[in-house]
Amino acid sequence: MSGDHDDDFDPEAGFHPSCVGDVGRPEFDAPWQRRAFGLAVALSEFGHYPWEEFQQRLIGAIGAWQEAPSDARGRWEYYEHWVAALSGLVDDRGLLEPGYVMPEDREGGVTHAR
């Protein structure tokens, strides 16, 4: 594997300094990544889909990137795959469609404590 990775992650030159420091390690490079993370987790937490389903989507999106020829795929950006997985799942599950039934209103769905 080579070519279109971050320039600061060259395996021949060793690892990025953040690998060996616990302080100030970056979690999100941009606010939209944090937002996308929170959105995917929130929808799962509130019962719109099981987390495993999102996971499988993400694995699929990343797998497709990895199998594409390196000159035909864009630079690596983890959260783009995250957004693609999330967006596809929202479409497939019809979250934005008219008549979408909220998890708490489904028969045999979320049960409420009385």
Residues forming contacts to other proteins in the complex (CB under 8 A) are: 1, 5-6, 9, 11, 14-16, 18-22, 25-32, 34-39, 41-46, 48, 50-52, 55-56, 58-59, 62-63, 66, 74, 76-80, 83-84, 86-88, 90-91, 95-96, 100, 102
Among candidates 73, 12, 88, which has minimal Cα distance to 43?
Answer: 88
- Beta carbon nearer to other proteins, 3 or 107: 3
Q: Closest approach of Cβ 107 to other proteins, in Å?
A: 19
Q: What is the rounded CA–CA span in Å between residue 49 and residue 41?
A: 10
Q: Closest approach of Cβ 109 to other proteins, in Å?
A: 15
Q: Are 81 and 65 in contact (CB under 8 A)?
A: yes
Q: Are 70 and 1 in contact (CB under 8 A)?
A: yes
Q: Closest approach of Cβ 108 to other proteins, in Å?
A: 18
Q: Closest approach of Cβ 71 to other proteins, in Å?
A: 16
Residue 94's region, left for phi above 0, alpha for psi from -120 to 50, else beta, is left
